[in-house]
Chain A
Amino acid sequence: MIIPIRCHSCGKPIAQLWEEYKRRIAQGEASAKVMNDLGLVRYCCRAQFMGHVDLIDEISKFKKG
C-alpha cells in the first residue's frame, strides 16, 4: 500500500529512505548497492524495500471522497 514507517521486525525507521531508493532504482542502479548506501544492513529492513509495491496510487482512485 504505502511504505511502512518502520521495519516490521527490528523497528528501524525506514520510510524516509523509500523515495530515494525508488528514484535510484528507476535510474538503473543495483538494488543491493542502493540499500547499502542508505544504511539498510539487516535483511529484515532490506526485505521491506525489496517486497514493497506502492499500491496507494491505484487504491486511492476507488476509495471514498
Chain B
Amino acid sequence: MEVKLLSQDKTQVRVVVKGTTPAEMNTYRRTVLTQLPAMAIDTVEFIENSSALYDEMLAHRLGLVVLKTDVESYFEKAKCKCKGAGCARCTLDLTLEAEGPGIVYAEQLKSKDPAVIPVYGKTPLVKLLENQKVKLIAHAVLSTGKEHIKFSPGLLYYQGYPQIKVGAVKNPEAIAEMCPTKVFTADSKKLTVKNKEACILCMACVDASKGDVEVSGSATDFILTIEPWGQLSPGQMVDGCVDALHEQIDALSEEIKKLK
C-alpha cells in the first residue's frame, strides 16, 4: 500500500491510497464511524427550564454538541473501574445557567475539566425571552458511534481514483465549462485533463461527449477523505481506527485459539 497526501485544510484531509481493495477502505470507514471513542453529553438533569424548547428537545441538542475529547484521561463506562456506576474517570459534569433575554451559546456550558469543552462555542442552544430561565447539569461520557452517532468523531470516506480517457471530442469548450469541479481545460480546441484529483466521477462529461470521454473509478487506488467534527484530530482518528481494528482482530484470534 502506498499513501500520498493530496490536500489538508481546517475541515478535511485528503490522501491518495494506492494498491488496496474497496473492502479494506470500507472497513476503515465503518470503524471510524462506529468504533472510535469520543465524548458527548449523555444525560441531563433539569433544575429549571422555562424556555420554549421542551426538556427533551434541549437535552437532545446538548447531546449533539461537539466536545473536545481527551481520550487519555477518560474511560468508557463499561470498561471503567466503577463498573458503570459513574465516577470522575468516566463521567464529566457540565453545568449551564442562563437567563433571558438572549441566545444561550454552548460556550456558556461550564465544564469541570478545562480540557473537555465545546469545540464550537458559538453554537446556539436555545433562545430565551425575558424572565425565561434555564438551569441544568449535564453528564458527558465517553462512548462510541455504535451506541449513538453523536459519539462518532467524524467521517472517513473514499472514492475510486479517477481514470479519465479523452478521445476525439467535438465540443471541448462546452465540456470544460460544464464540469462541476473544473477538471478539464480546452486549449486550441483540444480537451486536456488539468486537475484529475478534483473529479467526482459525476459522468457529466461522458454524457455530453456521447462517450468520447471515458471516466471510471479505480478498484485498487482510492482518494480517502478524513473529515473530523472536532472531538479528535485527523491523526487521532486514524490512530484510533488502527487500534480498534487491532483489538477486534486480537479478540477474534483469541476465540479461535480456544476452539482447539
Binding site for B on A (CB under 8 A): 1-6, 10-13, 15-16, 18-19, 39, 56-57, 59-61, 63-65
Scan B9-24; emit 1 where CB is below 8 A from any A CB, else 0: 0110000000000000
Chain B interface (Cβ within 8 Å of chain A)?
10-11, 50-53, 61, 64-66, 106, 119-124, 126-129, 131-133, 149, 152, 155, 227, 229-230
CB-CB < 8 A to B51: which residues of A? 60, 63, 65
7 example contacts (A-B, Cβ-Cβ < 8 A) are as follows: A2-B127, A5-B61, A5-B65, A10-B155, A15-B120, A65-B131, A65-B133
CB-CB nearest in chain B for A3: B124
Q: Are A13 and B127 in contact (CB under 8 A)?
A: no
Contact A63 B52, beta carbon cutoff 8 Å: yes
A-B contact count (CB 8 A): 63
The reply to whether A15 and B123 contact each other, CB–CB distance below 8 Å, is yes
B50 near A65: Cβ-Cβ < 8 Å? yes
Give the complex CA separation of A12 and B61 in angstroms: 14
Are A11 and B152 interface neighbours, CB within 8 A? yes
Shortest C-beta distance, A5 to chain B (Å), equals 4
Q: Which residues of B contact A10 (CB under 8 A)?
A: 155
Q: Is the CB of B123 within 8 A of A12?
A: no
The 3 closest A-B pairs by CB, nearest first: A65-B50, A16-B120, A5-B64
CA distance A56 to B132 in the complex (A): 13
Given contacts A11-B155, A60-B52, contact A16 B129 (CB under 8 A): no
A60 touches B120 (CB 8 A): no
User: A12: which B residues are within 8 A, CB to CB?
Assistant: 227, 229
| Alpha-carbon distance between A63 and B52 when the two chains are bound, in angstroms | 6
Which of B50, B119, B122, B126 contacts A2 (CB under 8 A)? B126
For the complex, would chain B's binding face be called helix, strand, loop or mixed by DSSP majority?
A: loop
Q: Tell me, in angstroms, the Cα distance from A3 to B126 when the chains sit together.
A: 9
Which residue from A11, A16, A39 sits with its C-beta under 8 Å from B123? A16
Assembly CA distance A64 to B11 (angstroms)? 40
Contacts of A4 in B (CB 8 A): 64
Q: Is the CB of A16 within 8 A of B122?
A: yes
Contact A13 B230 (CB under 8 A): yes
For B126, what are the chain A residues with a Cβ–Cβ distance below 8 Å?
A: 2, 56
With most chain A CB atoms within 10 A of its CB, the pick from B10, B126, B131 is B126
Residues of A within 8 A of B131 (CB): 65
| B50, A13: Cβ atoms closer than 8 Å | no
- Whether A61 contacts B65 by the Cβ 8 Å rule is no
In the complex, what's the smallest C-beta–C-beta distance from B14 to chain A, in angstroms?
A: 12
Structural contact, A18 and B124, CB atoms closer than 8 A: yes
Contact B52 A59 (CB under 8 A): yes
Chain B nearest Cβ from A38, distance in angstroms: 10
Shortest Cβ distance from residue A18 to the other chain B in the assembled complex, whole angstroms: 7
A28 to B223, CA, bound (A): 37
> Contacts of B133 on A, CB cut-off 8 Å?
65
